[in-house]
Chain A
């Protein structure tokens, strides 16, 4: 309605303006989807390779988004020595730079300080400034922060370059056995470390909204006649600061896919008993368990909406495995998806505008998105086995597990527009990625 009024006013204004020799409205509704060209001019008076390291990190961050294209330094027609030096815009226009990042690095007392001015070359104005410092050991975080600032200013969205990825590392052992180890790394694959030793099977690690802890599902098993039989299954919590594991619940049946509520005070999961599966919540403070769904159907993979008012899950209550949405108290269940294939592992976007899911059928597996009102369903990626999507904190990028025909498990990333699908660097086979919401992890 507001838009309609605005447009009406615009049209009226345009009509009035026409008779008064004023402006005429030109509608432009065709454009392109291509990266913005940016020139990164770095000045490092200390001359100790810091410039090259920062350039590498920032370039990788920006170019991996497919939204930026770095102009090579050899094309520069002007080198700026410090942020106080004003650029000659005509020279930067000549090399088709749309933005210019004029940065300066300094090392003082074991600390790296970085500052830059971001210029819009075409309008010949400074559109952003940045100044920060960090310990020399944390220079990568500082570089990620600089890339975040550029990304935010040019796209209008929060950057995600200083976030981390929690995932399950798979290591193949003899006789077909695999070890499952929890691992943590930066979103670009650096600073990798293992959190568990692989003595138990760990699955579905889910980070809390604070980023200081995560929950996971773990079980011990034994092999009987070549078949893996689970002995006990439990939900645990791991505190990243104190590096402690805490048993949250040990149920009679199998528990699956625990996830935190948006406020971080409770967990939601599904519990399987006597052939059916229902959704429960667990209050982390009181350890009180509440059942949300009932019936002889299989309800699983619950996930809260960012505002905590709704829960999306998949269920076979309609005969086929489809997506459903209910209110946070378990009421008002309505079907979300109506496709012919099966739907699983729905995850609500941090922005709240999309729900990512796994879809599978005879022709393979897909990662798709659908709006919470059931509209706009579309597939972003497909493969032999793709599943378990997780959102970047800004709701722009999705990571997921990807198994190829040679049974190699990797993590892939794809933009919400469906472009820029690429693998994420991991030292071993990897499944079940979970993207941290904040960069406050240890």
Chain B
């Protein structure tokens, strides 16, 4: 039995899909085992770009009021940091995501460093100092190696951020800290965490780009609505007509069955194209006589003579007798004539066909009024 060969494209697609799934699985499992904070961050990144409030940088704004550990930094320096406006502080810290990674303490230390919820929520009535002492003096704070102030800043920011996250997580998911197996898992290697960070930053960049694109698209749509809507019908059809006439010009003057084609300067132009051109131009101008008695049967024939440049030269209602005696017909005929005059010159490239420059326009409202009660 002959074995069926796979399409190489399909094969490539399957391989690509499998590898993508594997990569996604790897990325997904890694933070769960190692980094709870990253996991939550990843989730928040997922909705980046919808609103500014959802941006992952927003929680970092709270860095502006860092909780400085008393052992490492002098109180004077703390005051200096407090004086730093939040935006400036953000500018210093946000770009250094790699530093943030380095500044993140091991998981266990982080959890230990997180004060209980009651303590982290400052009481409004208390003075600032009291709040600070409550925040910066956790009883089980482990000793840390000496670092530079900037690192401390970022580290505190991360802690702050982690605290914020946990505060929010404790509401709907109060069991967050009560997962014993996660504590036992070994910490994730720095390399993988860095990769995750890069992945997240890439996602943020992509989201930003999308947001920018969306803005551009909206602007384009607005412009299109304002400007192109008015000319859309005419332009499209004029293009189509020009193209078709050009195509017909290439054809011989004699048709295949031996008959003569009629058209521009001896070349062919279809009656259908002219009819379609006129229809497309006139349909937005013809006010259908709806609501009058037997409106469906009020069809009007009008003779139209075009001049040079497809300008309407002469308009004549054919049934003059009925026009003079039937007011409903007269109104319908006037409406049709108005439409022709408002239509203006047809934009057909080439001159007026030699064989015909005059037409009979048959205005029939039957199709429009079906179901509208005429």
Known: A22-B358, A23-B358, A155-B331. A28 touches B278 (CB 8 A): yes
- A120-B293 Cα distance, complex, nearest whole Å: 23
The 0/1 profile, CB within 8 Å of A marked 1, for residues 275-296 of chain B is 1001100111111111111100
Which listed segment binds A: B78-86, B161-169, B335-343? B335-343
A136 interfacial contact with B, CB 8 Å: no
- A415-B290 Cα distance, complex, nearest whole Å: 10
CB-nearest residue of chain B relative to A351? B293
Chain B residues lying within 8 Å of A25, measured Cβ to Cβ, are: 359-360, 362
Q: Which 6 A-B pairs have the closest CB atoms?
A: A156-B331, A31-B286, A156-B328, A31-B288, A156-B327, A122-B341
B274 interfacial contact with A, CB 8 Å: yes
- A120-B361 Cα distance, complex, nearest whole Å: 20
Chain B: interface size category: 35 or more
A47 interfacial contact with B, CB 8 Å: no
- For residue B62, give the distance in angstroms from its CB to the closest CB of chain A: 50
Known: A23-B303, A416-B291. A32 touches B283 (CB 8 A): yes
Are the C-beta atoms of A123 and B359 separated by less than 8 Å? no
- A10-B288 Cα distance, complex, nearest whole Å: 22
| B-facing residues in A378-427 (Cβ within 8 Å) | 378, 395-396, 415-418
Q: Can you spell out 16 A-B residue pairs with CB atoms less than 8 angstroms apart?
A: A18-B356, A23-B303, A25-B360, A26-B274, A28-B278, A29-B366, A31-B283, A32-B284, A32-B286, A33-B287, A155-B292, A156-B292, A157-B293, A157-B331, A417-B372, A418-B373
B38 interfacial contact with A, CB 8 Å: no
- A378-B327 Cα distance, complex, nearest whole Å: 27
Are the C-beta atoms of B331 and A3 separated by less than 8 Å? no
Q: How many chain A residues touch the partner (CB < 8 A)?
A: 42
Are the C-beta atoms of B360 and A157 separated by less than 8 Å? no
6 additional contacts (CB under 8 A) given A22-B358, A27-B364: A28-B283, A32-B286, A153-B331, A157-B293, A353-B293, A369-B373
Chain A residues lying within 8 Å of B286, measured Cβ to Cβ, are: 28, 30-32
Known: A26-B274, A32-B288, A154-B331. A122 touches B338 (CB 8 A): yes
B148 interfacial contact with A, CB 8 Å: no
- A416-B374 Cα distance, complex, nearest whole Å: 8
B301 interfacial contact with A, CB 8 Å: yes
- For residue B9, give the distance in angstroms from its CB to the closest CB of chain A: 46
The 0/1 profile, CB within 8 Å of A marked 1, for residues 341-374 of chain B is 1100000000000011011111111111001110
Are the C-beta atoms of B283 and A30 separated by less than 8 Å? yes
Are the C-beta atoms of A28 and B363 separated by less than 8 Å? yes
- A22-B357 Cα distance, complex, nearest whole Å: 8
Chain B residues lying within 8 Å of A354, measured Cβ to Cβ, are: 373
Among the listed A14, A31, A127, which residue makes an inter-chain contact with B339, where contact means beta carbons less than 8 Å apart? A31
Q: Which of B334, B339, B368 has the most CB of A within 10 A?
A: B334
Q: How many A-B residue pairs have CB under 8 A?
A: 134
Known: A22-B358, A23-B358, A122-B342. A29 touches B303 (CB 8 A): no
| B-facing residues in A13-63 (Cβ within 8 Å) | 14, 18, 21-34, 36
B219 interfacial contact with A, CB 8 Å: no
Are the C-beta atoms of A26 and B338 separated by less than 8 Å? no
Q: Which of B293, B332, B359, B364 has the most CB of A within 10 A?
A: B293
- A417-B342 Cα distance, complex, nearest whole Å: 25
Are the C-beta atoms of B373 and A417 separated by less than 8 Å? yes
A152 interfacial contact with B, CB 8 Å: yes
Are the C-beta atoms of A395 and B293 separated by less than 8 Å? yes
Chain B residues lying within 8 Å of A155, measured Cβ to Cβ, are: 289, 292, 331
Known: A36-B287, A354-B373. A26 touches B279 (CB 8 A): yes
Are the C-beta atoms of B287 and A32 separated by less than 8 Å? yes
- For residue B86, give the distance in angstroms from its CB to the closest CB of chain A: 52
Chain B residues lying within 8 Å of A416, measured Cβ to Cβ, are: 291, 373
Q: Which of B299, B332, B360 has the most CB of A within 10 A?
A: B360
The 0/1 profile, CB within 8 Å of A marked 1, for residues 295-326 of chain B is 00101010110000000000100000000001
CB-nearest residue of chain B relative to A354? B373
B197 interfacial contact with A, CB 8 Å: no
A439 interfacial contact with B, CB 8 Å: no
Are the C-beta atoms of A28 and B287 separated by less than 8 Å? no
Are the C-beta atoms of B338 and A120 separated by less than 8 Å? yes
Are the C-beta atoms of B291 and A417 separated by less than 8 Å? yes
A376 interfacial contact with B, CB 8 Å: yes
- A376-B363 Cα distance, complex, nearest whole Å: 23
A141 interfacial contact with B, CB 8 Å: no
Are the C-beta atoms of A98 and B373 separated by less than 8 Å? no
- A110-B328 Cα distance, complex, nearest whole Å: 37
- A30-B282 Cα distance, complex, nearest whole Å: 8
Chain B residues lying within 8 Å of A122, measured Cβ to Cβ, are: 337-338, 341-342
Are the C-beta atoms of A123 and B331 separated by less than 8 Å? no
CB-nearest residue of chain A relative to B336? A28
Are the C-beta atoms of B372 and A28 separated by less than 8 Å? no
- A23-B278 Cα distance, complex, nearest whole Å: 14
Among the listed A27, A36, A157, A369, which residue makes an inter-chain contact with B292, where contact means beta carbons less than 8 Å apart? A157
B271 interfacial contact with A, CB 8 Å: yes
Known: A123-B341, A156-B328, A156-B329. A33 touches B360 (CB 8 A): no
CB-nearest residue of chain A relative to B372? A417
- A25-B358 Cα distance, complex, nearest whole Å: 9
B330 interfacial contact with A, CB 8 Å: yes
- A376-B371 Cα distance, complex, nearest whole Å: 7
Among the listed B283, B292, B297, B356, which residue makes an inter-chain contact with A23, where contact means beta carbons less than 8 Å apart? B356
Chain A residues lying within 8 Å of B326, measured Cβ to Cβ, are: 156
Chain B residues lying within 8 Å of A378, measured Cβ to Cβ, are: 371, 373
CB-nearest residue of chain A relative to B342? A122
Are the C-beta atoms of B279 and A30 separated by less than 8 Å? yes
- A354-B294 Cα distance, complex, nearest whole Å: 11
Are the C-beta atoms of B360 and A26 separated by less than 8 Å? yes
Are the C-beta atoms of B332 and A156 separated by less than 8 Å? yes
